[in-house]
Amino acid sequence: MTVSPAGGCASARGVCPRKRFFRPQNTDIRAAHEIDLADTIERKDGHIDQWAAHRREGVHELTATDGVRFIDETAEFVDDHTLRVGSETIETDYVVVATGSSVNVPDVPGVEDVDITTSAAVLDATRLPDSGVVMGFGSVGIEMTPYLAEAGVDITVVEHDERPLDSHAPAFGDALMELYREEFDIDICTEVSEERVESTSDGVCVYLDSGDVLTGEELYAFTGRRPNLAGLGLERTSMTPQNGWIDATMQATANSNVYVPGDANGRDPVLHVAKEQGYLVGKNIIAAAQGEPVEPYQHTNHRVTFAGAGLYPVVRIGHTVRSAHEAGHATVTATRKAADDGVFRAKDVPHGLARVVVDADDGTTLGYQAMHYHADAMAKTMQVLIEMELDIREVPDRAYHPTTPEILDGLIRETANQVATSN
């Protein structure tokens, strides 16, 4: 990767708005972790084939059920209550639009003339380039960039904001950037945006609004997803895809007989959320058909991003301090660094931190955010506390010593003491 001032792609490293860390050669993570890409992709494909086979089996069982008719054709709306499916027209009582999402390609000048690489292509690649520029540092970018770095790709990331993880407190984004710079040797350019991209004989140039120019052999677009709604004929209905067009019951606000669960509604494109919403839609259609009230989707934020090549999962369950205050809670909070607990140092995974948010008045556990080793495993424990609205003062704080969950004990003990003191 090359960085140069404005004026075109250059062959010498220039200045980028980033902090560069250097480590002793014997601690280079690329030297310590060599990836056999062919073997990795073969194993990945095997796992996916097994999961896909299980899901296909479920669909086949459904199609063999009495009263179920499966049509392998493209469907589109004729009007609010009529579908055209192939050459057939079907009058409907209820319609479920579960068309998922597709890769969002950013609207950057020149992008249509550049060969971009998506996360799916990365996970199919058995050969990777020596260098690359990453657009998009959300969940997908956070997961993909250390994988590329471990495979030996010199990576530079374009981050539009001051830091990633904008749904977390700033300390989490700062910790993640430090981890990626120090341990994975990833360059992160912050508070900059792409003005245009350009294909070259050596790869690609990315022109930033700071005046810097990034070059690499490949351009990676980890820029999120967008609902698959094109070609459905929605323009022939009363429904217009825009903010608020689907309410909490998963019904279209303009047509309560149409339900849109999962990625297609553009709310939270995460698999487990789509499954929960799909299950709710089935219940709501039955309720509506029987003249009973339908239910809203009760969403407790629960998400895990597998940062740091999976070693440092980023977790959010329930409220942050900000969202708790917006919801009217007075809060107490506690934060612990992983490095402050000896077990993380002993396991040589000292990066990261965790935070618990608690209602200051009644001790209700409101939220948990973490970025550290084993945070994904601890997420279920914290989900139980939060969704059951348990009083933090009644949660045992006995250490599981010497194991990583002792980080939770410190958080529980500290917030319980704060609630007791404030009351």
Q: Are residues 397 and 343 in the same domain?
A: yes
Write phi, then psi, for 125 (nearest 5 degrees): -80, 130
The arithmetic mean of pLDDT across residues 207-225, rounded, is: 96
Instruction: State residue 268's pLDDT score.
Output: 87
The tokens describing 423, both together, are 């009351």
Q: Are residues 192 and 341 in the same domain?
A: no
Q: Are residues 286 and 383 in the same domain?
A: no
Beta-ladder partners of 205: 198, 215
The tokens describing 145, both together, are 């960039």
The reply to whether 235 falls in a domain is no
Domain count, the chain: 3
Instruction: State pLDDT tens for residues 315-365.
Output: 999 999 999 999 999 999 999 999 988 899 999 999 999 999 999 999 999
The reply to whether 217 falls in a domain is yes
Q: Are residues 206 and 346 in the same domain?
A: no
The reply to whether 176 falls in a domain is yes
The reply to whether 201 falls in a domain is yes
Q: Are residues 320 and 212 in the same domain?
A: no
Q: Are residues 390 and 327 in the same domain?
A: yes
Q: Are residues 266 and 312 in the same domain?
A: no
State whether residue 2 is helix, strand or coil: strand
The reply to whether 66 falls in a domain is no
The tokens describing 63, both together, are 């199609």
Beta-ladder partners of 219: 116, 133
- Helix, strand, coil content of the chain in percent (nearest 5): 35, 25, 40
CATH at 324: 3.30.390.30
Please tell me the distance from the alpha carbon of residue 368 to that of residue 384, in angstroms, as a whole number: 11
State whether residue 59 is helix, strand or coil: helix
Q: Are residues 214 and 188 in the same domain?
A: yes
The CA-atom distances, in angstroms, between 406 and each of 29, 143, 246, 374 are: 28, 26, 42, 11
pLDDT above 90 (res 142):
yes
The arithmetic mean of pLDDT across residues 278-289, rounded, is: 97
Instruction: State pLDDT tens for residues 409-420.
Output: 999 999 999 999
The reply to whether 219 falls in a domain is yes
Give the residue numbers spanning the domain of 216. Answer: 2-38+104-225
The CA-atom distances, in angstroms, between 143 and each of 137, 171, 297, 312, 400 are: 9, 19, 28, 10, 29
The arithmetic mean of pLDDT across residues 286-310, rounded, is: 93
Please tell me the distance from the alpha carbon of residue 351 to that of residue 370, in angstroms, as a whole number: 11
The arithmetic mean of pLDDT across residues 35-41, rounded, is: 88
177 with 137: CB under 8 angstroms?
Answer: no
Instruction: State residue 82's pLDDT score.
Output: 97
Please tell me the distance from the alpha carbon of residue 177 to that of residue 364, in angstroms, as a whole number: 32
305 confidence band (pLDDT: 50, 70, 90): very high
The reply to whether 89 falls in a domain is no
Q: Are residues 31 and 141 in the same domain?
A: yes
pLDDT above 90 (res 159):
yes
Instruction: State pLDDT tens for residues 99-116.
Output: 999 999 999 999 999 999
Please tell me the distance from the alpha carbon of residue 263 to that of residue 123, in angstroms, as a whole number: 21
Instruction: State pLDDT tens for residues 144-156.
Output: 999 999 999 999 9
Short-list 413, 417, 405, CA closest to 341: 405
Decide: residue 233, CB within 10 A, 0-12 exposed, 13-18 middle, 19+ buried.
middle
Helices 406-422 and 375-387: crossing angle in degrees, nearest 10, is 30
Q: Are residues 151 and 213 in the same domain?
A: yes
Write phi, then psi, for 307 (nearest 5 degrees): -80, 165
The reply to whether 204 falls in a domain is yes
- Which residues lie closer than 8 Å to 400 by C-beta, 6 or more apart? 406, 409
pLDDT above 80 (res 386):
yes
State whether residue 350 is helix, strand or coil: coil
Average pLDDT, the chain: 90
Short-list 116, 192, 119, CA closest to 158: 192
4 confidence band (pLDDT: 50, 70, 90): low
Count H helices and E strands in the chain, helices first.
10, 22
Element (H, E) at 26: none
- Which residues lie closer than 8 Å to 34 by C-beta, 6 or more apart? none
Please tell me the distance from the alpha carbon of residue 202 to that of residue 157, in angstroms, as a whole number: 19
Q: Are residues 161 and 204 in the same domain?
A: yes
Q: Are residues 277 and 159 in the same domain?
A: no
pLDDT above 70 (res 391):
yes
383 with 362: CB under 8 angstroms?
Answer: no
The CA-atom distances, in angstroms, between 40 and each of 47, 122, 127, 142, 186 are: 11, 12, 11, 19, 22
Please tell me the distance from the alpha carbon of residue 393 to that of residue 411, in angstroms, as a whole number: 11
- Which residues lie closer than 8 Å to 159 by C-beta, 6 or more apart? 137, 188, 189, 190, 191, 192
Please tell me the distance from the alpha carbon of residue 404 to that of residue 338, in angstroms, as a whole number: 9
Instruction: State residue 241's pLDDT score.
Output: 95
Instruction: State residue 146's pLDDT score.
Output: 96
- Which residues lie closer than 8 Å to 171 by C-beta, 6 or more apart? 335, 353, 355
How many C-beta atoms surround the C-beta of residue 79 within 10 A? 12
State whether residue 390 is helix, strand or coil: coil
Write phi, then psi, for 342 (nearest 5 degrees): -55, -30
State whether residue 305 is helix, strand or coil: strand
CATH at 148: 3.50.50.60
pLDDT above 90 (res 164):
yes
Write phi, then psi, for 93 (nearest 5 degrees): -95, -45
